[in-house]
Amino acid sequence: MSYRAPTEDIRFVLNELADLENVLALPGFEDVSSDLVDAVLDENAKFVEQAIAPLNQSGDTSPAKWSDGSVSTSPGFKKAFSEFAAGGWQGLQHEQEWGGQGLPKLIGAAVSENMNAANLAFSLCPLLTDGVIEALTAVGTHDQQSRFIPPMLEGRWTGTMNLTEPQAGSDLAQVATRAVKQGDGSYRLSGQKIFITYGEHDMAENIVHLVLARTPDAPRGVKGISLFIVPKFLVGEDGTLGPRNDVWCASLEHKLGIHGSPTAVLLYGSGKGDVGEGAVGYLVGEENRGLEYMFIMMNAARYAVGIQGIAVSERALQHAVAYAHERVQGQALEGSAGPVAISNHPDVQRMLLNMRALTEGGRALAYVAAAACDTARRHTDPAARARSKAVYEYLVPVVKGFSTESSLEVTSLGVQVHGGMGFIEETGAAQYYRDARILPIYEGTTAIQANDFVGRKILRDGGAVAKVLSAEMRALVVQLQQESDKAGRDADGLDLIARRLGAGIEAYDKATSFILANAQSSLRAVFLGSVPYLMLAGTVHAGWQLARAALVCSQKAHADEAAAFYTTKLATSVFYAAHILPRVESLSVSVLEGIVASRYANEAGGK
Amino acid sequence: MSYRAPTEDIRFVLNELADLENVLALPGFEDVSSDLVDAVLDENAKFVEQAIAPLNQSGDTSPAKWSDGSVSTSPGFKKAFSEFAAGGWQGLQHEQEWGGQGLPKLIGAAVSENMNAANLAFSLCPLLTDGVIEALTAVGTHDQQSRFIPPMLEGRWTGTMNLTEPQAGSDLAQVATRAVKQGDGSYRLSGQKIFITYGEHDMAENIVHLVLARTPDAPRGVKGISLFIVPKFLVGEDGTLGPRNDVWCASLEHKLGIHGSPTAVLLYGSGKGDVGEGAVGYLVGEENRGLEYMFIMMNAARYAVGIQGIAVSERALQHAVAYAHERVQGQALEGSAGPVAISNHPDVQRMLLNMRALTEGGRALAYVAAAACDTARRHTDPAARARSKAVYEYLVPVVKGFSTESSLEVTSLGVQVHGGMGFIEETGAAQYYRDARILPIYEGTTAIQANDFVGRKILRDGGAVAKVLSAEMRALVVQLQQESDKAGRDADGLDLIARRLGAGIEAYDKATSFILANAQSSLRAVFLGSVPYLMLAGTVHAGWQLARAALVCSQKAHADEAAAFYTTKLATSVFYAAHILPRVESLSVSVLEGIVASRYANEAGGK
């Protein structure tokens, strides 16, 4: 099954919901015209459809292979990566100073979605490299930047994040990898890191590992972690590759999904290689501030994983839609002479619209967040920057949590639409189900997103951002109701959306108030409901964006030449309101019942 | 990770919720004492824990293998099956007339749950054989019964169901396999069947295929389908095996899960074998009534697949609980000197209780349904039989749909509890996630259960059963509220349950009324909401059973020596009320918004 970039919806979201025009008007984007954006999207669609998408299933069946410390990636990956490099895709949203193209994050989000939809396993490599570039751009020295960033932008080198150790998963306080300072100012690292995505491979000349480690006299816990650059090959001042560093891939994991992505166990300081014992590393920023720096790339990576959730959902949706139109089974509900395509059956329509609603709702919300990020970075007015920054930071855990959890539902429905064929691996639907399952786990589980959301994004500002968003959503409900009162053709659909969104906002406000009121006295109650609250926020905010879309579509659905697109979009928005938004109300009940429920839960002691 | 039969909860459900005492008092169970039941459960636990559970992961990694038409099952399966046979487990709930033990379905359900929890892939073989025995018991001739049933009860032979063909999945009207009558009264079959579970294997001497096929002059559609016995080896009058029949395994499917279960493509009438061209088959019952007969085994199999959903959920739960107690990560929420087991974290408690609530809720509902089935078959009072029959038939699609869809959620949470380790295949959690995915598909997808539920179980009797159940649930709410008003120690928990169950019943009643009121005028609206309505019914009924459990537990939780069990059970029930029952209300909204939503959905045409 081939993948086609959903360019029509991407353009709709960019222009109608994420206000591309205003993003392009920000300082620094003077050279980015809307024609250029169109050209980038078209070129990107062509590239991913032709070069990357065809390797998705073969990457699954022929995973990366480890042999004696080396890793050969799946057939075709190396060639595709060189095309990726030649196309300049790695530099898309990075600083022009180091050779990037300096496009808005908003465009980067669209391109990244297409890449990941085409091939999630392949696209993890650039995703991690993006994070390394972002971190070094923010906190590297000029020498570190000039030495390491350009080759990554060119796609000659790639980057990795090294956080996890066997005893330290989500709990970085337990990181034990040691870093000992040498006379020349460099460090020697020793320890073991696990779950390192593209920690070893054959697609690039060098690999830039960013590694969390602890100096001998560092304080305990997360305040004693430092961040180091450890290149696979040392790099001379002129950028030439030097001796092989003492970092080695001991094995690859055998995973449920994303088989094309090599997940490495890395050993630092085992004494092999050309540098003696200990991997040579260079401190980034100051000692003991590693966690803070790592969060720079973590936040970028969290957002990017949210995009992955949308991407794999879109891929699963396309696969299911194609099958539903092709597969002939059963009579039409109204009775007919013979069997019809299953896309005529109400429950297949329900499943497809459920998939589409979550995918397009997630996309709209994520792109709106990206626009806020661009505004936060570049707006001339400091107050506008601060407002957008707060909104973006509020939305990062929401996008990550909501889009990735939704991708589990979407890819599961994708299997279900195929019936028995969905369970057969050759069909392809099962791969998305397997691939998606890592998304709510890596770069911080959904629980960790929820902790971040409740702790840093709600409690810290007393719910200020939540109140702003609530007011904006309420204004939209009024507008929808006014439009519906005009009794035009789609009045009943807009009315349904207005009612369900209104009820959703009520529920959101109540849950937020509960969180704010009880964090002091009943922390367990609040955190028993933190994931439901995160999902609640994602569900109501994505519904908000689809409601905005419905307003636009109701005006165009019966006039425009692209009427089919608007009709489907409007139906998707109505469906979201009827089948997804009501979840907000039940999630809110779960949050509100937290005090009693958490007492019983804790008595049962995690049984 | 080893499996331990959840005997304590099984006994609780049998005795406190499914009224085992009254079931054992039914005619025909005179010889079944409660001591015998205890002994069977203990023996069963020992058998599955020691003989079957250890083969679960190895069956996954070493699937059944096809070679030149023969299939060798996973290492150890053959030996385990001979132990299964020797233990008499296949005969447990079948008629004593043919050598069965004639135990209640209620006990059969518990034994089947344990079998499937221990090893889903292995236990599919007996599950299908059960269906064949049930169908032949009901509609076979005396000669067919005496020839085929005893060897299956003894575990020397196994049985299969042959419905699906490449062009005929859920739509049996399209079955094309031909059956031509011969001079001696037998038939010759030719055609291709797919997705045949244990269609070929090496664990038994013979395989009894029940096959849907069409005689040359049969009417079109489902009214022209007949049912045939096609044994792999023909069987002499004395029961000895004769010539190899013309049915051959062309290949096995490469599946997402249940790798240990060989899923065969079977060719009938390819001309190989010892009988000339065409597989020799024997008509069951009358021509053209095959679908009706097949439904006998389908209904048994649907219930059994519901049990599989509970089984794989229990297995995933045990795995996750063990990990959560062992894995040390992060500080306690209240602050502490060092890292604690993750079972202390509120969100891990939430996930474990969510898993437990769905598993135990599903179990309680399924066992209550089994008791209704026993009563329907054996009660002396015809009115009581009719009542119980209606309740059982109402509950079959609910048990199947709710337990299997829940198993997707439970096994997914099981992966999530493990964090990154959950995505690594060696951990084992991923297998349950893969295995479970077939359950909402085979023996009728969830949509087909929902069609059956709405069409035959709600509309046909004008919601009569639904009204009876609603009244029973309402009476329980009153009882819970009275108990809560006494202001005892668990008053707040019982109050929470009473409130949420009460709200759930409201929502259930409204949705039922909507279905009844709109089936004539807006069939698409009704069927757009049929799966949500099925899930709504499952959610509220399972919540009802856990609420009944809570009443019992609140009296025992602080007194009894087994207090830990009751404390956990009560917490599970409270959690279900706070986090699962509220879904009923949002599902009800989706049903009620069906008229507008379905018009838009249909305009979008399954996009």
pLDDT value at B167 more than 90: no
d(CA B105, CA B107): 5
Look at residue A294 in the predicted model and tell me its pLDDT.
Answer: 87
pLDDT at A560: 66
Query: In degrees to the nearest 10, what's the CA dihedral of B10, B12, B14, B20?
Result: 150
Q: Which of A330, A422, A527 comes nearest B347 by C-beta?
A: A527
Residue of chain A nearest B325, judged by CA positions: A606
The answer to whether residues B516 and B458 touch, using CB atoms and an 8 Å cutoff, is yes
Tokens of A153: 């932008």
Give the separation between CA B271 and CA A435, rounded to whole angstroms.
43
Q: For CA atoms B584, B590, B593, B598, give the dihedral sign.
A: negative
Please, are residues B227 and B290 in contact by the beta-carbon 8 Å criterion? Answer: yes
Could you read off the pLDDT of A214-271 as tens digits, one per residue? 999 999 989 999 999 999 999 998 999 999 999 999 999 999 999 999 999 999 999 9
Round the CA-based radius of gyration of chain A to a whole number and report it: 24
Beta strands A233-235 and A328-331 are unpaired
The CA distance from B498 to B95, in Å, is 42
Beta carbons of A264 and A76 less than 8 angstroms apart: no
Token output for B209:
């295929």
Q: Identify whether the C-beta of residue A162 lies closer than 8 Å to the C-beta of residue A190.
A: no
Say whether A422 and B441 touch across the interface (CB within 8 A): yes
CB contact under 8 A, A255 and B195: no
Cα of A485 to nearest chain B Cα, Å: 16
**Cross-chain residue pair A570–B408, CB shorter than 8 Å:** no
**CB contacts, 8 Å: B253 with chain A:** 424
Confidence grade of residue B339 (pLDDT, cut at 50, 70, 90): confident
Structure letter (DSSP) for residue B202 = S
Which residues are paired to B192 by β-bridges?
Answer: B267
C-alpha to C-alpha distances, B124 to B127, B129, B185, B259, B264, nearest whole angstrom? 5, 9, 33, 11, 13
Q: Do A585 and B585 touch (CB under 8 A)?
A: yes
- Cβ(B197)–Cβ(B128) under 8 Å? yes
> Percentage of chain A with pLDDT > 90?
90
CB contact under 8 A, A496 and B356: no
pLDDT tens-digit map of A119-157: 999 999 999 999 999 999 999 999 999 999 999 999 999
Model pLDDT for residues A519-574, shown as the tens digit of each residue = 999 999 999 999 999 999 999 999 999 999 999 998 886 776 678 899 999 999 99
Question: CB distance A523–B325 less than 8 Å?
Answer: no
Q: Distance (Å, rounded) from C-alpha B389 to C-alpha B375? A: 8
pLDDT digits (tens, 9 = 90+) for A409-436: 999 999 999 999 999 999 999 999 999 9
Mark yes or no for CB contact B425/A532 under 8 Å. Answer: no
Mean pLDDT of A502-531: 97
The secondary structure of residue B577, as a DSSP letter, is I
Name the residue among B549, B575, B550 with its Cα closest to residue B352: B575
Tell me which of B145-159, B162-176, B274-288 is least confident. Answer: B162-176
Per-residue pLDDT at B75:
97
Give the separation between CA A540 and CA A531, rounded to whole angstroms: 14
How far, in Å, CA of A129 to CA of A259, rounded?
19
In A, which residues are within 8 Å of B550 by CB distance? none
The partner residue sitting opposite A531, judged by closest CB among B334, B350, B531, is: B350
State which amino acid sits at residue B468. V
What is the mean pLDDT of the segment spanning A39-60?
97
Cα–Cα distance, B285 to B226 (Å, whole number): 9
The pLDDT value given to residue A339 = 87
User: What is residue A458's predicted lDDT score, i.e. its pLDDT?
Assistant: 97
Question: In the 3-class helix/strand/coil scheme, how is A115-172 assigned residue by residue?
Answer: HHHHCHHHHHHHHHHHHHHHHHHHHCCHHHHHHHHHHHHCCCEEEEEECCECCECCCH
* Confidence class for position B538, pLDDT limits 50, 70, 90: very high
CA B223 to chain CA centroid, nearest Å: 27
Within 8 A by CB and 6+ apart from B528, the residues are A346, A347, A349, A350, B594, B597, B598, B601
Pick from A366, A395, A367, A390: which is nearest to A379 by CA? Answer: A390
Backbone angles phi and psi of B210, in degrees to 5: -100, 120
Distance separating alpha carbons of residues A390 and B251, to the nearest angstrom: 58
Q: Which chain A residues are closer than 8 Å to B345 by Cβ?
A: 447, 527, 606
Encoded tokens for A25: 């008007």
Angle ∠(B496,B497,B501) on CA atoms, nearest 5: 120
Minimum mean pLDDT range among B216-225, B292-301, B427-436: B292-301
Percentage with pLDDT > 70 across chain B: 98
Q: Which residues of B are designated catalytic?
A: 443
> Which of B4, B438, B607 should we substitute to test contact with A (largest number of A Cβ atoms within 10 Å)?
B607
Angstrom CA distances, A57 to A76, A77, A80, A409, A428, stand at 12, 12, 14, 21, 7
- Looking at residue A280, the DSSP 8-state letter turns out to be E
Looking at residue A88, its pLDDT comes to 95
Ranking A246-255, B92-101, B331-340 by mean pLDDT, the lowest is: B331-340
Residue found under tokens 């699937």: B63
Q: Give the model's pLDDT for residue A606.
A: 65
Q: Which of B157, B174, B178 is nearest to B165 (CA)?
A: B174
Contacts of residue B351, Cβ cutoff 8 Å, sequence gap at least 6: B320, B413, B416, B417
Among B163, B404, B581, B593, most A C-beta atoms within 10 A, so best to mutate, is B593
Q: What is the mean pLDDT of chain A?
A: 95
Q: Do A424 and B257 touch (CB under 8 A)?
A: no
State the nearest Cα–Cα gap between A379 and chain B, in angstroms.
Answer: 38
Long-range contacts, stretch B142-145, CB < 8 angstroms, 24+ apart: B144/B229, B144/B282, B144/B284, B145/B98
Min Cα distance B420 → chain A (Å) is: 6
Task: Name the nearest CA neighbour of A82 among A152, A140, A156.
Answer: A156
Helices B382-417, B464-485: axis angle to 10 degrees equals: 70
* AA letter at B395: L
* Structure confidence at residue A396 (pLDDT): 98
The nearest alpha carbon in chain A to B567 belongs to: A604
Contact A254 B408 (CB under 8 A): no
Q: CA torsion sign, B227 to B230 to B235 to B239?
A: negative
Q: Are B317 and A151 in contact (CB under 8 A)?
A: no
Q: What are the structure tokens assigned to A600, written together? A: 């019983």
* Number of neighbours of residue B46 by Cβ within 10 angstroms: 12
CB atoms inside a 10 Å sphere around CB A27: 9
Q: Closest residue of B to A446, CA-based?
A: B416
> For residue B15, how many other CB atoms are within 10 A of its CB?
14
Instruction: Identify which of A419, A582, A601 has the shortest CB distance to residue B349.
Output: A601
Is residue B569 within 8 Å of B12, Cβ to Cβ?
yes
Q: For residue B197, what are the β-bridge partners?
A: B263
Mutate to test the interface with B, among A448, A496, A586 (most CBs of B within 10 A): A586
| Chain A residues with beta carbon closer than 8 angstroms to that of B604 | 349, 353, 567-568, 571-572
What CA–CA distance (Å, rounded) separates A148 from A208? 8
Mutate: best of B600, B602, B603, partner A, most A CBs <10 A: B600
Do B420 and A195 make contact, defined as CB atoms within 8 angstroms?
yes
CB pair distance less than 8 Å for B601 and A493: no
The structure tokens 């590693």 sit at A290
Is the per-residue pLDDT at B45 higher than 90?
Answer: yes
In angstroms, what separates the C-alpha of B595 from chain A's closest C-alpha?
10
pLDDT reading at B1 higher than 70: no
- What is the predicted pLDDT for the residue at A489? 83
Residues 6+ apart with CB under 8 A from B307: B109, B112, B113, B116, B366, B399, B403
Which residue does chain A place closest to B61, by CA atoms?
Answer: A254
Q: Do B445 and A587 touch (CB under 8 A)?
A: no
DSSP per-residue letters across A212-245:
EEB-TTPPSGGGG-EEEEEESEEE-TTS-EEEEP
Closest by CA to A468, choosing from A547, A372, A379, A390, is A390
Instruction: Find, in chain A, the residue whose alpha carbon is nearest to that of B418.
Output: A441
Mean pLDDT of A23-41: 96
Q: What pLDDT, in 10s, does the model give residues A294-332?
A: 888 888 899 999 999 999 999 999 999 999 999 998 888
Question: Does the pLDDT at position B506 exceed 70?
Answer: yes
CA distance A458 to chain B (A): 18
Give DSSP secondary structure letters for A435-481. HHTTTTTTTS-HHHHHHHIIIIIIITTTTHHHHHHHHHHHHHHHHHH
Name the residue of chain A whose CA is nearest to B173's CA: A330
Residues B114-136: tens digit of each pLDDT = 999 999 999 999 999 999 999 99
pLDDT value at A336 more than 90: no
Residue among A329, A524, A574 whose CB faces B346 most closely: A524
Give the ipTM of the model, two decimals please: 0.97
**pLDDT(B560) > 70:** no
Distance CA(A166)–CA(A285), nearest Å, equals: 26
Flag if A524 and B333 touch (Cβ within 8 Å).
Answer: yes
**Which among A333, A349, A408 has CB closest to B606?**
A349
**Does B196 score more than 70 pLDDT?**
yes
Q: Would you call B606 and A348 a contact, using CB atoms and an 8 Å cutoff? A: yes
The C-alpha atoms of residue A332 and residue B68 are separated, in whole angstroms, by 42
Instruction: Calculate the average pLDDT of chain B.
Output: 95
Q: Which of B416, B523, B600 sits opposite A575 (nearest CB)?
A: B600
pLDDT confidence bin for A1, thresholds 50/70/90? low
The predicted pLDDT at position A332 comes to 86
Supply B185's token pair. Answer: 């009264």
3-state SS, B96-109, equals HHHCCCCCCHHHHH
Would the CA dihedral through B440, B446, B448, B449 be positive or negative?
A: positive
Q: Which of A200, A443, A483, A585 is catalytic?
A: A443
